[in-house]
Structure 1
Amino acid sequence: MLCTHRPWVQASTSSYPPQSKQLNQSSNFSITKTKTQFQRKFLRNRLNDIEVDDIDDDDGGSGLLRFALTAHVKSITSTSNPFVKHCLKLKNSSSYRHSNGSALVVGTTSIREIYRYEEASQEKTVMDCLLLLDKAEIPEGLDTDSVRIVRINTMVMKKLSGVQSAESIEAIALMRLPTSFLNLDIDQNTLDCRRWFPSTYRILVLDGIQDPGNLGTLVRSATAFQWDGIFLLPGCCDPFNEKALRASRGSSFQLPIVSGSWYHLQTLKDTLNMKMVAGHPDSDGKLKKVSSLSKEFVHSLSHVPLCLVLGSEGRGLSEKSQQECELVSIPMAGEFESLNVSVAGGIFLYMLQPKN
């Protein structure tokens, strides 16, 4: 799925789950309060265990349509349960995730990583629900007083996790997307680039990374080496894709991520006087000079605000990235043309990491 999000059009109410229309404050169309009340009543009557938790109107609202289990539901045993279908659509559809502002985090390790980060920062991740396998223990570190726990059986866990052995997966969290994630093509209130990242000393820019495993690994590496954020150019997969979240071990909830265009990136570069370098093979035969990732090169950038651009493994850098960036290659003694982008990215991120 591409990480370019467009407004969603309301689907027919004859299908489940109902599609919501995501609005921004610049839109000429709004959901009136009368229609909002009708939607709540209709969905509650139709879906039994699911209710509309919140539909923001255009008076300062986000336009997100949220679903939640009713308070009496303590366990789910059927894969046909409407809430299970809602979770599956969150898992499989990027547009549905972003229209609901929620994502599934599969696995105890990723959930723990997110909460460990929360303890050390002021960023509060909102967990709407923790789906816990029957008789499994509550993951260590979770505040049981504030977390809604619903028990599910093996069949439901297999359906939601996508793994054949539910014993390896004991918990799935339904979490709201972090406030540190911005989609500049939709959110018109964040055009001031100084507000995108808390710091802009080191920003990783991903150019058309479509493999969720590679993208998630790069997000995880950027977090480990204390980079300040990720900028996603068009063509990247959703960082809240299930496979991307699993590869990142929840880092997509920790590191600021901004999705935008080259226009937005150019604005960031010009406003903050950032240097742009891009990873690129040394043996492509093109005329533009390709520098080597040496200690001297790294030292020359030690006090320079930097954007590092990495392209997809299949197509490489876009023409725009090649034109706008200084190209840098990793010296290799072997006869390989290039490395896997997540491996090459890890080397770049380590070598160019911030120096405290």
Structure 2
Amino acid sequence: MLCSYKLWVQASYPPHLTVLNQNSNIPIPKTKTQFQRKSLDGRFDDIDDDADGSGLRKFALPSHVKSITSTSNPFVKHCLKLKSSSSYRHSHASALVVGTTPIREIYRYKESSQEKTVIDCLLLLENAEIPEGLDTHSCHVVRVGSMVMKKLSGVQSAESIEAIALMRFPTSFLNLTVDQNKSDSQSWFPSTHRILVLDGIQDGIFLLPGCCDPFNEKALRASRGASFQLPIVSGSWYHLQTLKDTFNMKMLAGHPDIDGKLKKPFSLSQEFVHSVAHVPSCLVLGSEGRGLSEKSQLKCELVSIPMTGKFESLNVSVAGGIFLFMLQPKN
């Protein structure tokens, strides 16, 4: 079963995480905060202003702007760059969420958890109503034409998408490769009962180098906005080793039972599940193409999913689902 590395951990977390808005794959140097100001000729000018000391870049759409009809508008270009560039997205600590359903789900989750959802701007198709549940949320609402909506959403029929939200990264996102002050692993997650760690590709997620940006367009659409709902920590093997040592975790890795391997994998049996039921655990799944890295194979106890026939691997999402279900404490 060759899959994308994912790790699972158990621990207890502190109440708050500081927002780190950087991508683990692409080191982004801290820059001065930049605000966009509309000049006399109608263009937006950058203004350096690092008053908040965040080191993040900000693009502020003037409050008097209520509609955008041109795809050449600077704000539209800004949004398009947020969609296409991970480094740009992380330097602004913002992501574009396309579609009423994920926007509403993110907002409802934040409300239920009493956490503030920051929607910097809600782009609505002309004549479309504000999505139910968001009509009381105070944010900058801008009406856009069908051509603008089509360009930003990436779909051919603009009528199928009525809303796009420009959202700030959640405070539950932390990048350890950038924030050197968050070295205390006990503050990374609110709970470490089960942490999913992705390497090279429920209480939280740990991203190792080479992982997909959790705030890119496809990830947000596939996860239905889960990136805004789960604590996510991005770091290196050094940080993961620190987490393991702090909570004395068992390192497990999904791997097919193939003859000739140096280490014989354990079978994901009910007996095995019972043996680790009360042990803080990390589950690592390797990428579908390359499988587990050598480091994962050396540091982890290999576990295979019993299969009939001669098939040797499973799709990573299928394999991950089986592992996550079986390793739940109740199982």
**TM-score, scaled to structure 1:** 0.82
Question: Secondary structure, in 3 states, of the residue corresponding to 1:97?
Answer: helix
What's 1:232 paired with? Answer: 207
Farther-moved stretch of structure 1 (261-270 vs 301-310): 301-310
Question: Secondary structure, in 3 states, of the residue corresponding to 1:151?
Answer: strand
Contact 1:108 1:171 in 2 (8 A): yes
Correspondent of 1:130 among 122, 127, 140:
122
Q: 2:106 corresponds to which letter in structure 1?
A: I
1:115 and 2:133 are equivalent in the alignment: no
Question: Secondary structure, in 3 states, of the residue corresponding to 1:98?
Answer: helix
What's 2:139 paired with? Answer: 147
What's 1:260 paired with? Answer: 235
Q: Which runs of no fewer than 5 residues in structure 1 stay unpaired?
A: 9-21, 24-30, 210-226
Task: Give the distance between the partners of 1:257 and 1:137, measured in 2 at CA.
Answer: 33
Residue pairs, 1:66-145, within 5 angstroms: 66-145=58-137
Question: Secondary structure, in 3 states, of the residue corresponding to 2:233?
Answer: strand
Residue pairs, 1:290-309, within 5 angstroms: 290-309=265-284
- Indicate the structure whose relative CO is greater, using CA pairs within 8 Å and at least 6 residues apart: 2
The number of equivalent residue pairs is 309
What's 1:216 paired with? Answer: none
Q: 2:26 corresponds to which letter in structure 1?
A: H
Farther-moved stretch of structure 1 (328-337 vs 94-103): 328-337
What's 1:4 paired with? Answer: 25
**Alpha-carbon offset, residue 353 of structure 1:** 2.4
Task: Give the distance between the partners of 2:166 and 2:259, measured in 1 at CA.
Answer: 45
**Alpha-carbon offset, residue 53 of structure 1:** 9.2
**Alpha-carbon offset, residue 128 of structure 1:** 0.3
**TM-score, scaled to structure 2:** 0.87
1:316 and 2:310 are equivalent in the alignment: no
Task: Give the distance between the partners of 1:153 and 1:146, measured in 2 at CA.
Answer: 22
Task: Give the distance between the partners of 1:92 and 1:280, measured in 2 at CA.
Answer: 33
Task: Report which of the two has the higher share of helix.
Answer: 1
What's 1:175 paired with? Answer: 167
What's 1:342 paired with? Answer: 317
**Alpha-carbon offset, residue 249 of structure 1:** 0.3
1:70-121: CA deviations, max 9, x gaps?
0111111110000000000000000000100100011111111101211220
Change (3 A) 1:342 1:118: same
**Alpha-carbon offset, residue 292 of structure 1:** 1.2
Question: Secondary structure, in 3 states, of the residue corresponding to 1:230?
Answer: strand
Q: Which runs of no fewer than 5 residues in structure 2 stay unpaired?
A: 1-22
1:128-179: CA deviations, max 9, x gaps?
0111111222111114341221111111111111111112211111000011
The percentage of aligned residue pairs carrying the same residue is 77
Q: 1:340 corresponds to which letter in structure 2?
A: N
Change (3 A) 1:303 1:142: same
Question: Secondary structure, in 3 states, of the residue corresponding to 1:159?
Answer: helix
CA RMSD after TM alignment:
2.2
1:270 and 2:245 are equivalent in the alignment: yes
Change (3 A) 1:158 1:53: farther
Contact 2:24 2:235 in 1 (8 A): no
Task: Give the distance between the partners of 2:66 and 2:174, measured in 1 at CA.
Answer: 34
**Alpha-carbon offset, residue 234 of structure 1:** 0.7
Task: Give the distance between the partners of 2:39 and 2:288, measured in 1 at CA.
Answer: 49
Change (3 A) 1:189 1:54: farther
1:211-242: CA deviations, max 9, x gaps?
xxxxxxxxxxxxxxxx1111111111100010
